[in-house]
Amino acid sequence: METCLKEELNTSLLTAVGHARGGCISQGWSYATDRGRVFVKINHRPEARKMFDGEAASLEAILKTHTVKVPRPIKVANIPSDGAVLIMEHLDMNPLSIYAAVLGEQLADLHLHNQKLGRKLWKERTTIGMPGNNSEDVQFVDQFGFHVETCCGYIPQVNEWQSDWVTFFTCQRLQPQMDLIEKVYGDREVQELWSQLQLIVPALFCDLEIIPALLHGDLWEGNVAEENSGPVLFDPASFYGHSEYELAIGKMIGEHCETFYSAYHQKIPRAPGFKKRLKLYQLFHALNNWNHFGLAYRPLSLKLMRHLLNSL
Ligand SMILES: Nc1ncnc2c1ncn2[C@@H]1O[C@H](COP(=O)(O)OP(=O)(O)OP(=O)(O)O)[C@@H](O)[C@H]1O
């Protein structure tokens, strides 16, 4: 493994620094190298290469917006035995505390970034003498999806481009989770609820204009931190989607402090129907957790489905 890392990084120095860090999905180590300190995530699953290619592409996309700090990806490589590594910039991170409000503002900036590009492009196209050629480093995106698959956990997400958000979320987020549950558990009750629920999903989005926003895509408290100089996000599973989707997982797993939400909503106010849609978005994460961690997430999934069915 160390020989492989030395080759990939073209470094003669490779000294492990500090402790191994284990997330739920991968293992991580920091190393001192000729090019400075790096953080290496290692995963031995068959999906590891796809996971890490998606994570690296997500980090690149967020970096290009210059809105919120994420570690700079350096390389994704296969490892000789099995699996893959993602090598990235090492950051000295502490739990989020004093920068919660700054993170709220910066996350809103990330979500507004594509919208701003769209406005700029429209202005250029409608102003005589301006090129209007979408020539920024990051281009305006008018659909939902992403250019590569990204994994929320280790399950790949269907990121094919789609112009309608409700279709995207129903067919490319909820349906694949339902299909996995059907395959592994053959759960009739959940399938019956789903057949009713999918009919009413569009009603949750009445009169709402949704402009694709670049999302972190897996924003739970375990993927949020701060350095001495400001907040940091890591471990993204990005795609262009509805900005409200991003807030669902934090609400489900534990409250980020209120200062985070109020700073965020000063820039992106809650739209009518926000609370109900949050439940719908929480349903995705409950199902995704069920597919990763098992039946303990079934009661929450059923509860959210019944709640949504009864609320309309
Ligand atoms: N660039 C980095 N520099 C230093 N430490 C990092 C870096 N990225 C991640 N870490 C540390 O490693 C831990 C695990 O990383 P990460 O969350 O990316 O792993 P994972 O297994 O994909 O996560 P999850 O549990 O969210 O599925 C983090 O909690 C963090 O402490």
Q: How many angstroms separate the alpha carbon of residue 28 from the centre of ligand 1? A: 7
CATH value at residue 3:
3.30.200.20
What is the pLDDT, as a whole number, of residue 131?
Answer: 62
Is residue 125 located within the same domain as residue 225?
A: yes
Q: What percent of the chain has pLDDT above 90?
A: 74
Predicted confidence at residue 122, as pLDDT, reads: 86
Q: State percent of the chain over pLDDT 70.
A: 94
| Ligand 1 center to 213 CA (angstroms) | 24
Q: Which residues line ligand 1 (CB under 6 A)?
A: 21, 23-26, 28, 30, 39, 41, 71, 88-91, 93, 153, 222-223, 234-235
Q: Are residues 71 and 27 in the same domain?
A: yes
Specify if 290 maps to a domain.
yes
Rounded Cα distance, 308 and 312, in Å: 7
Q: Is 7 exposed, middle or buried (0-12, 13-18, 19+ CB in 10 A)?
A: exposed
Nearest to 236 by CA among 100, 4, 67, 19: 67
Please tell me the predicted confidence (pLDDT) of residue 81: 75
- Least confident span in 103-112, 127-136, 231-240, 241-250: 127-136
31 CA to middle of ligand 1, Å?
A: 14
Residues 103 and 85 in one domain: no
d(CA 190, CA 178): 8
Domain tally for the chain?
2
Residue 202 and residue 106 share a domain: yes
Binning pLDDT at 50, 70 and 90, where does residue 255 land? Answer: low
Atom number in ligand 1 closest to CA 220: 26
134 within domain boundaries? no
Could you tell me if 111 and 227 lie in one domain? yes
Number of Cβ atoms within 10 Å of the Cβ of 160:
12
Pair 16, 45 in one domain: yes
> According to the model, what pLDDT value does residue 66 have?
97
pLDDT at 189 over 70: yes
Give the Å distance between the CA of 234 and the centre of ligand 1: 7
The protein residue whose alpha carbon is closest to atom 11 in ligand 1 is: 21
Model ipTM? 0.95
Q: Are residues 24 and 125 in the same domain?
A: no
Going by C-beta distance under 8 Å and a sequence separation of 6 or more, which residues neighbour residue 111?
213, 214, 215, 243, 246, 268
Digit-coded pLDDT (tens) for 66-86: 999 999 999 999 987 789 999
Q: Which residue, 64, 90, 116, sits at the end of a domain?
A: 90
- Does residue 114 sit in the same domain as residue 167? yes
Asked if residue 53 belongs to a domain, the reply is yes
Q: Is residue 50 part of a domain?
A: yes
Same domain, 166 and 111: yes
Same domain as 22, residue 148: no
Q: pTM for the full model?
A: 0.93
Atom of ligand 1 nearest to the CA of 90: 3
* Active-site entry in 53, 187, 218, 235: 218
Q: What is the pLDDT of residue 80?
A: 77
* pLDDT of residue 8 exceeding 90: no
Q: What is the rounded distance in angstroms from the CA atom of residue 79 to the CA atom of residue 5?
A: 9
Please name the residue that has the structure tokens 């102003």: 127
Whether 220 is in a domain gets the answer: yes
Given the CA of residue 22, which atom of ligand 1 is nearest to it? Answer: 14
The answer to whether residue 178 is domain-embedded is yes
Q: Residue 132's pLDDT band (boundaries 50, 70, 90)?
A: low
In a domain, 208, yes or no: yes
pLDDT band at 298 (very low <50, low <70, confident <90, very high): very high
**CATH code, 222:** 3.90.1200.10
Is residue 53 among the annotated active site residues?
no
Residue located via tokens 């972190």: 216
Question: What confidence category does residue 259 fall into, taking pLDDT thresholds of 50, 70 and 90?
Answer: confident
Domain assignment present for 60: yes
Q: Can you give the pLDDT at residue 118? A: 92
Same domain, 298 and 154: yes
Domain enclosing residue 19, as ranges = 1-90
199/279 same-domain check? yes
Assess whether pLDDT exceeds 80 at residue 120: yes
pLDDT in tens, 17-56: 876 676 678 889 999 999 899 999 999 998 899 999 999 9
* Three-state secondary structure of the chain: CHHHHHHHHCCCCEEEEEEEEECCCCEEEEEEECCEEEEEEEECCCCHHHHHHHHHHHHHHHHHHCCCECCCEEEEEECCCCCEEEEEECCCCECCCCCHHHHHHHHHHHHHHHHHHHHHHHHHHHCCCCCCCCCCCCCCCCCEECCCCCEECCEECCCCCECCHHHHHHHHHHHHHHHHHHHHHCCHHHHHHHHHHHHHHHHHHCCCCCCCEEECCCCCHHHEEEECCEEEECCCCCEEECCCHHHHHHHHHCCCCHHHHHHHHHHCCCCCCHHHHHHHHHHHHHHHHHHHHCHHHHHHHHHHHHHHHHCC
